[in-house]
A and B are shown apart, each in its own frame.
Chain A
């Protein structure tokens, strides 16, 4: 049903701007306002809608006692984290697809893997190349929270005598070196610092 309205020009101007800001038509804006005024838009219902959208509708019901806040149990945190991670992964996927143009695959098939050392475990699942094509192996790009020349001793090609690097562990790199010429290669990143650890490097605990 169509209704014609009369309002003062200043109010109309304000209506126009507000509608434009929300990206809806003036009449949609007016209908919304009327619905709110008549109590059709229940804030509780809105909350339920949002909860449903993010998969939180099956939360345990809020306790009635006013003094007690709703206790978020373990599953709540997990569920929220899961939702956030899914969102983050989706945006990462979009970013990689747009900027790199690379398909996202399982660890066993990856040419490049990006993450913290803990997130990349177990590293034995990554490609180590084939005996006739050792170059067909994964490169792990490892984000670390510190990168200094203190830690396990490194020797091998590219290093004059020996150097040291703050590696997250040594066992995995020793096992990787034992596979030479097969094995994965690592790049450690920290802010604007970068360190390479190819499979050819011998790592020793000091």
Chain B
């Protein structure tokens, strides 16, 4: 056993976070203020997500942590170790085995199922913050459902670039009421937000906000009739597993312009290769 309370936070703090989560689920897309604690990691490294995960974990859980889709990057490895040490929970890299998945900036490619919880790390929870810096004003805008400014921003994108140039943290409207920042996931992932069987929880530690999407919630990416929302990805197949429909990272391989595209979801890519799929540069497993 460890010398920490289960999952690091004290029980009263976890209860406080759970109360915020329940209110967040009751009002999908609304940012519930909560008394965020200092965590043993810097702001920007997922302090909000870690607190939400800590409040949700039970000893029987199986935890998966991903960072930009990868299980083996610094942020993912350190948060996974943190919970192994403080909560002694089982961990996994397989999406379908996990009961709680903490994610930074991706939704796993493998479809989620009922009973799973997806916890997002959120840097700026307020979708209107870069358009209106005052909290008093953005709060009023949410109260009055006054989202014209966001549409102006998307329109200006079209006027300037000929298309909506927002490619990540693409704003969505939840259940026809609140405009929500889905955290900096690529807009490729936006269609997975709505009608998802898993519970999706969003934690912003520095900004002290928690918001939630219950399972099977209606989530619509903002767009215009003549410029409909289009999820986008690099026009390639994965060079390792050959997947045509997964979100890809571009990797520079040499100084002579060599590059390759690989699935950003490492578990998805490894799973496909284990099943014998190979891409342009991949070797059969």
Residues of A near any B CB (own CB < 8 A): 131-135, 137, 139, 156-160, 180-181, 185, 196, 198-200
Contact = CB atoms under 8 A, between A and B. Distances in A.
A110 to B, nearest CB: 14
A157 B214 contact: yes
B178 interface: yes
Contacts of B182: none
Interface stretch (B21-29, B41-49, B78-86, B164-172): B21-29
Q: Is the interface of A mostly helix, strand, loop or mixed?
A: loop
Contact of A185 (B26, B143, B175): B26
Given A137-B23, A181-B177, A198-B25, 19 more contacts: A131-B143, A132-B143, A135-B24, A135-B30, A135-B33, A139-B22, A157-B216, A157-B217, A157-B218, A158-B214, A158-B215, A159-B216, A180-B27, A180-B177, A181-B30, A185-B26, A199-B26, A199-B27, A200-B27
Interface of B: 20, 22-28, 30, 32-33, 139-140, 142-143, 175, 177-178, 197, 213-218
Contacts of B27: 134-135, 180-181, 198-200
Contacts of B142: 132
Pick the most buried of A137, A158, A185: most chain B CB atoms within 10 A of its CB: A158
15 contacts: A131-B143, A132-B140, A134-B27, A134-B30, A135-B27, A135-B33, A157-B28, A158-B215, A160-B216, A180-B177, A181-B27, A196-B22, A198-B26, A200-B27, A200-B28
Contacts of B25: 157-158, 198
Contacts of B216: 157-160
Given A157-B217, A158-B214, A135 B178 contact: no
Nearest to A132: B143
Pick the most buried of A131, A160, A180, A200: most chain B CB atoms within 10 A of its CB: A200
Contacts of B23: 135, 137, 185
A157 B24 CA distance: 12
A130 to B, nearest CB: 8
Contacts of B32: 135
A98 to B, nearest CB: 15
A103 to B, nearest CB: 16
A181 B20 contact: no
